[in-house]
Amino acid sequence: MADVISQQELYLNAFNWEPQYTNRFIMYIADIPSYIVKAAQAPNMTNGQIVTDHINVDRKLKGKSRWNDISLTLYNPIVPSGAQSVMEWIRLHHESTTGVNGYSSDYKKDIRLNPLSGPGEIIGEWVIKGSYILDSNFGQYDWATEDAVMIELTISYDWALHSF
């Protein structure tokens, strides 16, 4: 016979949880200071589809799984320069002065995204494998505003793992 759960136990177990908050995270990217990461998109994946014909119906199967690109927004402090940190990574992809492209073993980096609890404990981890900069935007300068300059990056990657 199943145990009967009291209303108090149900309340304590079902409603005594804390959600993760979007502003509690830290991201580790090689050679880019963590504190300049303003916003980061979590990994996301799309499954392809294969449709096979069978008499009068379609049968659908999962096709290739593709990890979708993610976007990052970085602050661009004066010292240390956020733009310079990003450019050092870009130079591993392509050196503008010589036109030489780099090896993927040099420009592909692993990125860690750690959600944090209220007191700052790491409560999860995404490991984003084989990341590289697909697109970079070093912001906009405008005499009519007092906004901070932001760096927008689109990161492409091979795959991601949610460790815990």
Q: What's the pLDDT at 5?
A: 72
pLDDT at residue 2 above 70?
Answer: no
Q: What's the pLDDT at 3?
A: 72
pLDDT at residue 164 above 80?
Answer: yes
Q: What is the mean pLDDT of residues 28-41?
A: 96
pLDDT at residue 13 above 90?
Answer: no
Task: Tell me what percent of the residues of the chain surpass a pLDDT of 90.
Answer: 87
Q: How far apart are CA 90 and CA 65, in angstroms?
A: 27
Domains of the chain: 18-162 (2.30.110)
DSSP classification of residue 32: B
